[in-house]
Structure 1
Amino acid sequence: MKKTIFMRGLAVFLIISFIAYIFLYETKLHGMLNTTTVVFANKNFEPNEVIGEDDIYLGKYPNDLLHENVIVDPKEIVGQRATGFISVNDIFTEKKVDSPLLRANDGEKFFAIPNSWIETIPGSLRRLDMVDLWLVQTGNTQPESNQFSVEKPILEGKVVAFIKNSSNTEVKGINSEKDRLDAGSQASQLEINLTNEEFIKVKKSVEAGYKLIFSY
């Protein structure tokens, strides 16, 4: 008799425990186990707008929609700029944010510098470095104009927006992105943050017979 009562009590306990587990899983555990905390936009962002600490919030995002470019750390976003329009409650990915140094002024754009304009690029140069552009005479070529000086930079403190190799991928260090001792590849494409007026100035100097050297 006592054994029967015990077995019935155990059965009732197991049934209640199972129901409680199902309820808990559906209401809380399922979300905890199948979501990841990511960063969401707390407002709409216009292109090039700098993102502040109050402009974001943390929330749950389904793991089956998650990919490696989704940003989960707020520190990677605060102080960065939006590369395009970001709507409120949207998640942040690596392509949606970039350094505030890029296009810091409304008139700045990314200008590709043709290889034929360049004399040398430092092998240790990396993306987001700030460079000075110098003019140099090459070979026996005599520049057509003396309005440009080789004694000082033609432009100073310009940001390297992109530095890429012949495969159109970013030049990075072997041990880390900013490793300057050993690069994973050789730079062959350079894009600089310039205004229209600055680009025209550089273009005219090249047309006059000069080439460019970059220092940082």
Structure 2
Amino acid sequence: MKKTLSYITPVLFLILGCGILWFFEYYLKDNIDTVDVVVAKENIPFKGKISDGDIEIKKVRRDNAISGGYNSSDTKLIVDKYAAIDIKKGTQIYPSLIDSYDLIPNEKEGEFIAPIPDSWLFAVPGSLRKSFVADFYVIPDKEQAMLRAIVQESTQHSEKEEGKPVKTDKTIDNELLSNKEPVLKDVRVASVKDRSNKEVKENTEVKDAATGVISNLEIIANGETLTKLRDYTEQGYKIYVVYKYERSNEGDKS
């Protein structure tokens, strides 16, 4: 019996060792210190709309995962968004690769980022921010003095400089523009900056306050859009900006 055991025991240990090695190789190896990441399943072209079929979940070593990259629970932040650059197959997806707010001009469609001169503007909402979608109205020269007086009387932070655009809120916008139609709809706001060329954002330390006063406005435009605005302003009209809605922040993980 002892002699039999002396033969069987090494065989059992050998089988057990092979089993452990097999279990480690096929089950544990790929799950130890790994994380799920989202990668491009196919090449995604610049400005291409990303579908479920364009991405997949893969496990990678934690050390190889891109900091801030999307994981398996973030696919809803990617699908139906647009690629900010050409994304190659196998690339880990992270926020900078996604044009979440469709703010990158499509050169194939003649789009570009266009600054709107202060001299063209009559009114800009003080709460306007980058990525908002706005409608542009035009105010004829004969109405500008009257509307400026109304706005300045209605706002606590009125713009006293005659040549500068006044700051408005939604209540005033609705009252003054109720009988007008916008000359441009769904204008994508690429940037709103203050006089020091810094992006105006919400002030996280002061409730209902901004980090600065809007001085420079940039939009996604094309030649037709810009020509239309220029034609109106050359006739003495000024632009009254009203934002329609605020973009969701769900696509921005940064």
- State TM-score, norm by structure 2: 0.59
1:135 CA drift (Å): 2.2
1:162 CA drift (Å): 2.8
Runs of at least 5 residues in structure 1 that lack an aligned partner in the other structure: 1-12, 142-149
CA distance in 1 between counterparts of 2:199 and 2:60 reads: 30
Runs of at least 5 residues in structure 2 that lack an aligned partner in the other structure: 1-12, 146-161, 164-178, 244-254
1:111 CA drift (Å): 1.9
CA distance in 2 between counterparts of 1:168 and 1:98 reads: 22
Residues 6-39 of structure 1: CA distance to partner in whole angstroms, max 9, x if unpaired?
A: xxxxxxx9xx99xx69x94x87667545433221
Q: Which has the higher helix share?
A: 2
Aligned-residue Cα RMSD (Å) equals 3.7
> Which residue of 159, 172, 175 corresponds with 2:201?
172
1:85/1:186 Cα in 2 relative to 1: closer, same or farther (>3 Å)?
A: same
Aligned to 1:9: none
1:194 CA drift (Å): 2.1
1:212 CA drift (Å): 2.0
Q: What letter is aligned with 2:116? A: I
Residues 133-159 of structure 1: CA distance to partner in whole angstroms, max 9, x if unpaired?
A: 122335599xxxxxxxx9532212212
- The answer on 1:61 being equivalent to 2:79 is no
Q: What letter is aligned with 1:36? A: V
CA distance in 2 between counterparts of 1:164 and 1:154 reads: 24
Aligned to 1:99: 100
Aligned to 2:85: 84
How many residues align? The count is 190
1:181/1:92 Cα in 2 relative to 1: closer, same or farther (>3 Å)?
A: same
Aligned to 1:186: 213
- The answer on 1:111 being equivalent to 2:105 is no
1:61/1:47 Cα in 2 relative to 1: closer, same or farther (>3 Å)?
A: same
> Which residue of 155, 178, 185 corresponds with 1:156?
185
Q: What letter is aligned with 1:131? A: A
Match runs of 1:29-48 below 5 Å = 32-48=31-47
Is the Cα–Cα contact under 8 Å of residues 37 and 65 in structure 2 kept in the other structure? no
1:40 CA drift (Å): 0.7
1:55 CA drift (Å): 1.1
1:63/1:171 Cα in 2 relative to 1: closer, same or farther (>3 Å)?
A: farther
1:215/1:86 Cα in 2 relative to 1: closer, same or farther (>3 Å)?
A: same
Q: What letter is aligned with 2:78? A: I
- State TM-score, norm by structure 1: 0.68
